[in-house]
Amino acid sequence: QVQLVESGGGLVQPGGSLTLSCAASGSRLDGYAIAWFRQAPGKEREGVGCDSSSDGSTDYADSVKGRFTISRDNAKNTVYLHMNSLKPEDTAVYYCATDRTPGCVGWSQAIPYIDVWGQGTLVTVSS
């Protein structure tokens, strides 16, 4: 069974950058789409982006498009979320997740169906 562990969260100033890591164990990530979600205090969990393993495509929420990118290092069995031009409203606990399928179809609505989640890592954007 695949397990995911996020790392890299922390405190960053507005306009700054941060890269989160999602390391997998128990299974290779090559065949799985990996999605990133976030949950701000008092708000529902929302999608950030998804990286497909079937066609190499990525998709992002409008709120982060042009600022966040997802990449993979298959040799390290790790997926990354690169975050630039961070805003205070990006403050949240960030989670990586997979439903163990290769594609990102409907990923942003898939929260109820995703069965593999990391524990989350907190990102705080503040001056």
pLDDT band at 62 (very low <50, low <70, confident <90, very high): very high
pLDDT band at 56 (very low <50, low <70, confident <90, very high): confident
Q: Which residues pair with 67 in a beta bridge?
A: none
Q: How many CB atoms sit inside 10 A of residue 15's CB?
A: 11
For residue 54, the model assigns a pLDDT of: 83
Lowest mean pLDDT among 21-30, 31-40, 63-72, 99-108: 99-108
Top pLDDT among 1 and 97 is at 97
For residue 105, the model assigns a pLDDT of: 85
DSSP 55-110: S--EEE-TTTTTTEEEEEETTTTEEEEEE-S--GGG-EEEEEEE-S-S--TTGGG-
Q: How many CB atoms sit inside 10 A of residue 112's CB?
A: 5
Q: Which residues pair with 50 in a beta bridge?
A: 35, 59
